[in-house]
Structure 1
C-alpha cells in the first residue's frame, strides 16, 4: 500500500496534466450561435413543460380567430415536434464544435525491482489522447461547428414553416365554420320567410286564389327546411375539424361571433408584398441554410487533407520526462476526394432546389394575391352594385304580389335571387380572408407587421 505522500504526488500530477491538456474541453462555436440560442429561448417556455403539466388556455364563451389561434399554437403536437427538432439541432453545434475532440487517457505504471529505488522513482505517470480518435486541428472542429449551426438555423426556419402552416390551417378551419354558420343564418331567414308566404298563400287559396300558389310555397318551404338541416350538419362537421386542431373533443361546443369576421386590413402595395414573400419565406430560408451548411461541409471535407495528431507525455519519478507527438498523415486520398465530390454534388442539388422553389413560391404567392384582390373586388361589387338592386327587387316583388300584379312564382324567384346574393357576399368575404392566410403562410410573416395597412375593404350590409 502506498504511503500518503506518494498518493498526494500522484493526485497532484494527474490534476496538473488534466489542467494542462484541457480535460473539460471548450466549444469552438461559430459566430451566431448565441443569437440562435436566444431565439430558441424566446419560445421555450411554451413547449418545455410536459403536455400533462401544461395548462392550455380555455376558449371564451364566444371565440374569435385570435382566441383559437393562440390555443392552437400551444396545443399542436406538430409544432411542438418542430421545436424539439430545432433544439436538438442546436445542441449538436456544441457537440460538433467541442475541442479537444477526443478524450484524455491516463496511465500509471509501477516498477517492481530489487534495486534500491525511491517509491516515486518506481512510478511512471503517462497521459495522452485516445489513439483510437486522433486529435483534430481546431480549424476542423470549428468548421464542423459551422455545419452544425447552419443545420440548426435550417431547423429554426422549419419551425417557422410549421408555425405559419398551422396558422393557415386553423384560420381556414375557423373561416369555414364562420361561413357555414352564416349560411345557416341566411337559410333560417329564408325558411321563416317562406313559412309566412305559405301561410299567406293558404289564406289566399281559401279566398279563391289559385291552389298552385299555396303548393309552390309549401314545396319551397319544405325544400328550404331540408337545406337548413344540411347546412347545420356542415356546421357540426366544420366545428369538429376546428376542435381537432385545438386539441379539444370533437363534439365540444365552440361558439363564434354572430357575424362574419371583419376583413383584416392589408397594405395596398402588391410589389412590397411580393418582395416580402421572396425575402422571408421560411421554406426558402431553410433551403438557403441548407445550401450554406453544405458549402461549409465542402470546406470540412477539404480539411481532411490536413494531418491529425496524438500528443502524449509521461513522468517516471525524478528520472525521466518524455513528450511524444504522433502525426496521423491521411492516406485515404481517394476516399477524401470522393467525400469532396459528394458534398459538392449535394450543395449543387440544394442550390437547384432553392432556385426552383423560389420561383414556385413566388408564382404561388402572386396567384394567391390575385385571388385575394379579386375577392376584394367582388365584395365591393356586390356591396355597391348588386345588393342594392336585389334588395329593391325583393321589396318591389313583395309589394306587387300583395297588390296582385305579379304571380307567386315571380315572388319566389326574387326571393331565391336575394338569398343567392347574400350567400355570394359571404363566400367572397371568406375567400378573401382565406387567401390572406395563404399569403401569410407563404411570406412567413403576419400581415399586420408589414407597415401601415390600408383600410380594410368596406363591409357589405348584413
Structure 2
C-alpha cells in the first residue's frame, strides 16, 4: 500500500491550514503545486515539506490581522500541537519498519570432533536462512501502519484547530477588556466635563452642590473600574501567551472589537461529520483495526523459509576417493507450523473488539459534536439579537442624553437624570462589547466544531 498518506490528507491540510491565514497562492494553486512533480517524493518528506510550506506562505500574508498572526505563531510554537506533529512523524517511521522482511539468520558451527564421511571429515558448517511472511502479510501490515499514521495526522489537525479556538477565546476576552477600558475612559472624560459644568452652575447659583458630589462619586467609581480592568487583563494575557509559548506578560495588539460578517450558515449532519478531524481520526483508527484483524489472520498461517547450508569438508585420511575433500552445499526449504491457535484467535478477537470500541467512540464523539453544534449555533443567534438590541438602546440613550444635557445646561435641573442616563448608556455599551466578544468567540468555536 504505497504512499498511503494521499492527496485527500494533503488537501485537508491545505484547506484547514489556510482557513485562518488566507494566502496569496489560493487553494487551487496549492493543489496544482501538490500534484506537480513535487508529489512523487517519499511520504514523510512530502508531508514535512508541505507543512513548512504552509507555515511560510501563511506568514507572508499576515497583514494587519493580529489574530491571524497569533494563529500562525501558536501553530509554530505551541508545544502540545508540536508534540502531536512529532507523534505523526514518529508514526510515519513505523511504515518502513513493518513492510520489510524479517532479518535473515546466519549461523556458524565448528565440529570439535569432526564427523567422518566418505568424502572426508566435516569441519565447519555455515548456514544462512530467511523466513518469509505469508503472501499479503507485509502489505497488510503496511496498511495498518499507514492508517495509524493518518490517524495521528488528523489528531494533529484536531489539536491545531482546538488551539486556534482557545487562542481566539483568549484574544476576544482581552479585546473586550480593552474595549471596556476605552468606554470607561470616555465616561471619565464626560463626567469630568459635567462636574465642571455642575461646579459653574453651583457658583453661579443655578445648581446645587449635590450635583457636584454626584459627579464626583461617579468619577471615583469609574476610576476603580479602570483599575480593576487593568488587573483583570493580566491573567487573560498570561493565558493567551501560555498558548503561544512565550513570556506570560508580553503585550498583545488587538483589533477594534467588531462583529465578523462571515458567520457560517448551518451545516447538514453529513457535512459536519465529513469535516471534523476528530471523527476522521476515529474512522482511520477503525480502518486500522480492521486491517490489524487481517494481519492477525495472516500471522496464523504457515510461514515458508528458504536457506542454504555450506559444510567445509577436510581431506580424507589415507583414502583416495572421487571428490574427496569437496565442500558440501545443501539448499533448504522450511515452513513454520502455527499449531498453537489460541494466541492467533486472541489476536483476531482483540482487533475485532478494538474496532467495536472505536465505532462506539466515534458514535459518542459524533453525538457530542452535534450537540455542541446546536449549542454554539444558538449562542451565535442569541448574541446577534442582543447586539441589535444594544445598538437600539445605545442610539436612543444617546438621543435622550443629548436632550437631558441641553436641558441641564439651560436650566440647571435634573442633573441626576443626566447621570442616570449616562450610566445606562455606559451599561449598554459594555453589554454590546461583551456580546460582540461572545459572538466572535462562538464563531471561532463553531469553526472548531465543524472542523474548519
Q: TM-score, normalised by structure 2?
A: 0.79
**Alignment partner of 1:408 is 2:415:** yes
Q: 1:336 to 1:222 in 2, by over 3 A?
A: same
Report what 1:271 is aligned to. 267
Q: In structure 1, what is the Cα distance between the partners aligned to 2:115 and 2:305? A: 31
- Contact 1:301–1:339, Cα closer than 8 Å, also in 2: yes
- Contact 1:264–1:433, Cα closer than 8 Å, also in 2: no
Quote the offset at 1:390 in angstroms.
1.5
Q: In structure 1, what is the Cα distance between the partners aligned to 2:109 and 2:66? A: 72
Quote the offset at 1:403 in angstroms.
2.6
Unaligned runs of 5+ in 1: 1-28, 48-53, 446-462
Q: In structure 2, what is the Cα distance between the partners aligned to 1:275 and 1:179? A: 35
Q: Choose 297-306 or 102-111, whichever is displaced more.
A: 102-111
SS in structure 1 of the partner of residue 252 of structure 2 = coil
Q: In structure 1, what is the Cα distance between the partners aligned to 2:300 and 2:79? A: 45
- Contact 1:102–1:135, Cα closer than 8 Å, also in 2: no
SS in structure 2 of the partner of residue 151 of structure 1 = helix
Quote the offset at 1:302 in angstroms.
2.0
Report what 2:351 is aligned to. 343
SS in structure 2 of the partner of residue 128 of structure 1 = strand
- Contact 1:307–1:330, Cα closer than 8 Å, also in 2: yes
- Contact 1:63–1:255, Cα closer than 8 Å, also in 2: no
Report what 1:128 is aligned to. 129
Q: 1:218 to 1:160 in 2, by over 3 A?
A: same
Aligned mate of 1:153, from 150, 155, 158: 150
Q: 1:115 to 1:88 in 2, by over 3 A?
A: closer
Q: Choose 303-312 or 435-444, whichever is displaced more.
A: 303-312
Q: In structure 2, what is the Cα distance between the partners aligned to 1:423 and 1:122? A: 96
Report what 1:314 is aligned to. 309
Quote the offset at 1:326 in angstroms.
2.3
Quote the offset at 1:397 in angstroms.
1.4
Quote the offset at 1:42 in angstroms.
1.3
Report what 1:388 is aligned to. 395
**Alignment partner of 1:301 is 2:314:** no
Report what 1:240 is aligned to. 238
Q: In structure 2, what is the Cα distance between the partners aligned to 1:332 and 1:174? A: 61
After superposition, the C-alpha distances for 1:262-287 in whole angstroms (9 at most, x for unaligned) are 514134x3135x54322111111111
After superposition, the C-alpha distances for 1:367-389 in whole angstroms (9 at most, x for unaligned) are 11221132223323433x33321
Q: 1:418 to 1:70 in 2, by over 3 A?
A: same
Equivalences, count? 398
Q: 1:355 to 1:114 in 2, by over 3 A?
A: closer
Q: Choose 139-148 or 219-228, whichever is displaced more.
A: 139-148
Quote the offset at 1:337 in angstroms.
1.9
After superposition, the C-alpha distances for 1:332-384 in whole angstroms (9 at most, x for unaligned) are 2122222222221221111111112111111211211221132223323433x
Q: Choose 60-69 or 351-360, whichever is displaced more.
A: 60-69
Q: 1:61 to 1:230 in 2, by over 3 A?
A: farther
SS in structure 2 of the partner of residue 270 of structure 1 = coil
Report what 1:97 is aligned to. 99
Q: TM-score, normalised by structure 1?
A: 0.78
